[in-house]
Amino acid sequence: MTVYTEKTHVMNTYARWDVTIAKGSGTTVWDHTGKMYLDCTSGIGVTSLGHCPPAVTAKLHQQLDTLWHSSNLTQQPLQEELGQKLAELSGLDQVFFCNSGAEANEAAIKVARRYAQKSKGEDRFEIITFGQSFHGRTLATLTATGQQKVKEGFSPLPAGFITVPYGDVEAVKKAATNRTCAVLLELVQGEGGVHPASADFVTELYDWCKQNEILFMIDEVQTGIGRTGEWFSYQHYGIIPDVVTLAKGLGSGFPIGAMIATEAVAAAFSPGSHGTTFGGNQLATTAGMATLLEMEQQNILPHVKELSQYLLGALGELAKQYSDQIKGVRGLGLMVGIEMNGEVGTYLKTAQQKGVLLLQAGPNVIRLLPALVIQKAEIDQLIIVLKEILELTKA
């Protein structure tokens, strides 16, 4: 493998680590020198079944020898198969397939506006979002995002988005006007610091949206497909939204996104109103279907719930022992944040040196997104390394 150490021809849009991953299997990756790492990032919540899961790999190999891509102008039985499965798991009705989470959220924004304008008039276009949210990097989705840092340098931004404090239903009510068509939120804010929504907030907001005929849309790009211990995070709250967006965990690393909606909302789209060249092609839908079937085969959801308790319990003990450094631990399922009393860059770099890959969510939060197949022994390994780092960095 060629490792580029000087200026390359790739634009400088990522603050890359000094790590080059050459191979992966399960929860383990190896760099170009052969050094082994415990991957607690899963490619930012993507490789939920671990790297190169054999069952998904086998299905992709089979499809590679059959057909990679055909136009969406042709019939797509693999889309129909995956769409039916997602409808069954979600309680919703119809799916639009795309390539990424940002595209899924773009589709949600478009279908919400089109639905509202068809049913209520052309002045219905505003969408309420929340502070510290993250919905993508297209112009529309970064405008919807509740973090100023992603918006700098991209003005003028599209109109039609209002951001209010997360968890504040009264702020939503005050912000709503006769132009409001939808509310868009994450039930666990990932990039914003791993903040799960309270049950009271979600229930009250959901009821208010229903009473006022405002679409309730949930961004499940990071939380969906088993990450929180249910197929979708909203299933913890006993609700069914109007629109859901998916991406990361759906294809085991193969690029795929999806926007799922009720039949009534989906009917707002018609031929020519939205589309994509690559979205839902044969390789992507094969990866998606194989991923879902393998998660069912491995009984992933109970495993995530059990390992989540184990991980949160172990981190809670660390937090007690190192309360001068750890401010708190929070999360849902295997989406966990460790809030530190200072910036976390040094912690992440030291962890890499010790063979563990970690993420951050904002300057002060260590974010854990391990593969959903992680085992207790690997969590024990993680805890040992975290403890060593905390000892090294004690005041």
Average of pLDDT values for 278-302?
98
Spatial distance between the Cα atoms of 265 and 316, rounded to a whole number of angstroms:
43
What residues contact 54, with CB distance under 8 A and at least 6 apart?
none
Whether 188 has a binding-site annotation, put simply, is no
Q: Is 168 annotated as a binding residue?
A: no
Q: Is 391 annotated as a binding residue?
A: no
Q: Any binding-site annotation on 221? A: yes
Is 31 annotated in a binding site? The answer is no
Q: What is the model's pLDDT at position 259?
A: 98
Q: May I ask the CATH architecture of the domain 54-298?
A: 3-Layer(aba) Sandwich (3.40)
Tens-digit pLDDT profile for residues 198-246:
999 999 999 999 999 999 999 999 999 999 999 999 999 999 999 999 9
Q: Is 18 annotated as a binding residue?
A: no
Q: Do 21-53+299-394 and 54-298 agree at the fold level?
A: no
Average pLDDT over residues 118-122: 88
Query: How confident is the model over 339-375, as pLDDT tens digits?
Result: 999 999 999 999 999 999 999 998 999 999 999 999 9
* Residue 134 labeled ligand binder: yes
C-alpha 138/C-alpha 154 separation (Å) is: 10
The CATH number, out of the four listed (1.10.3720.10, 2.60.40.10, 3.30.200.20, 3.90.1150.10), of the domain defined by the range 21-53+299-394: 3.90.1150.10
- Buried b vs exposed e over 40-69: b needs ≥16 C-beta within 10 Å? bbbbebbbbbbbebebbeebbeebeeeeee
Any binding-site annotation on 152?
no
Q: Is 154 annotated as a binding residue?
A: no
Taking the model in full, what pTM does it have?
0.96
Does the annotation list 277 as a binding residue? yes
Residue 126: CB atoms within 10 Å = 21
Looking at every residue in the chain, the average pLDDT score rounds to 96
pLDDT tens digits, 56-77:
999 999 999 999 999 999 999 9
For the chain, give every domain's residue range: 21-53+299-394, 54-298
